[in-house]
Amino acid sequence: MKLLEDRIKRDGTVLPGEVLKVDNFLNHQVDPQLMFELGAEFKRLFENEGVTRILTVESSGIAPALMAGYQMHVPVVFARKHRSLTLTDDLYTARVYSYTKQVNNDISIDKRFIKPNDKILIIDDFLANGQAVEGMLEIAKAAKVDVVGVGVVIEKRFQKGHQLVLDAGIHLEALASIASLDNNQVVFANSAE
Ligand code: G4P
Ligand code: NA
Ligand code: NA
């Protein structure tokens, strides 16, 4: 998506460890107009999949997921990383390891917010090693619902999440796909690949 690639070129910076910092429009400050356009693009890409609900993980997945849900007229559920104060046992839970932060997070979703016949679209800000997506797939499996797509704002195609989603046979769309961050340069992958 050209609008997003241009924004990454303008405002993104590459940090050591192959990390792309985009905190002025996505991960800290959030650009609502850009998020609105990303939502419209997700709708265009997934509108034939019969999506009934969007699933993401707090916190940075929420903005793009919300805009996709707004455009597609479906509810958005974010998995929580911290236990809610209102204790309940009616949760689906999965353990997610973050390579960047080297910590485990248990993500959970209240069983009331996934329904047996749901067709789930997973949305996230980044697809890197795919641990967050894997956790959401685990929850979908436990809930016995179909995952009809994974949409990410930015994928780092050189990390293993991209292949993990394809190997699961799931329709994957990345609005910007990064082939490499070598030498502090952002190189986009050909979107047709
Ligand atoms: P994974 O979910 O694909 O496995 O990602 P990984 O464990 O490698 O990364 C953990 C966190 O770091 C995730 O956010 C992920 O979105 C983010 N991340 C990974 N690569 C990059 C990058 O190049 N740039 C930025 N800005 N973030 C990256 P999180 O822990 O879920 O945090 P948040 O959603 O609360 O922000
Ligand atoms: Na994230
Ligand atoms: Na993040």
Across 138-146, average pLDDT = 97
Ligand 1 within 6 A of CB of 22: yes
pLDDT above 70 for 85: no
Predicted pLDDT of residue 193:
46
Task: Read off the pLDDT band of 99 (50, 70, 90).
Answer: confident
Binding site, annotated residues: 20, 27, 128-132, 156
Is any atom of ligand 1 closer than 6 Å to the C-beta of 19? yes
Which of 26-30, 57-61, 86-90, 127-131 is predicted least confidently?
Answer: 86-90
31 pLDDT higher than 60: yes
156 CA: nearest ligand 1 atom: 23
What confidence category does residue 192 fall into, taking pLDDT thresholds of 50, 70 and 90? very low
Ligand 1 lined by 126 (C-beta under 6 Å): yes
**Class of the CATH domain delimited by 2-79+113-188:** alpha beta
Structure tokens at 2: 């050209």
Provide the token pair at 101.
Answer: 């932060």
pLDDT of residue 150: 98
Interval 166-190: pLDDT, tens:
999 999 999 999 999 999 999 999 7
- Specify the residue with its C-alpha closest to ligand 1, atom 35: 59
C-alpha distance from residue 13 to each of 31, 176, 184 (Å): 17, 15, 8
Say if residue 89's pLDDT is above 70.
Answer: yes
Closest CA to 120 of 180, 52, 61: 52
Whole-number pLDDT of residue 87: 63
CB 101 within 8 A of CB 94: no
Mean pLDDT across 29-33 = 98
CA of 85 to the centre of ligand 2 (A): 23
**Would you kindly state where each structural domain of the chain is located, as residue ranges?**
2-79+113-188
What is the distance in A from the centroid of ligand 2 to the CA of 26? 10
Quick one: pLDDT at residue 190?
A: 77
ipTM of the prediction: 0.90
Distance CA 142, CA 165 (A): 18
- 126 CA closest ligand 1 atom index: 16
Please work out whether the CB of residue 131 comes within 6 Å of at least one atom of ligand 1. yes
Contact 109, 137 (CB under 8 A): no
- Distance from the CA of 98 to the center of ligand 1, in angstroms? 7
Q: What is the mean pLDDT of the chain?
A: 95
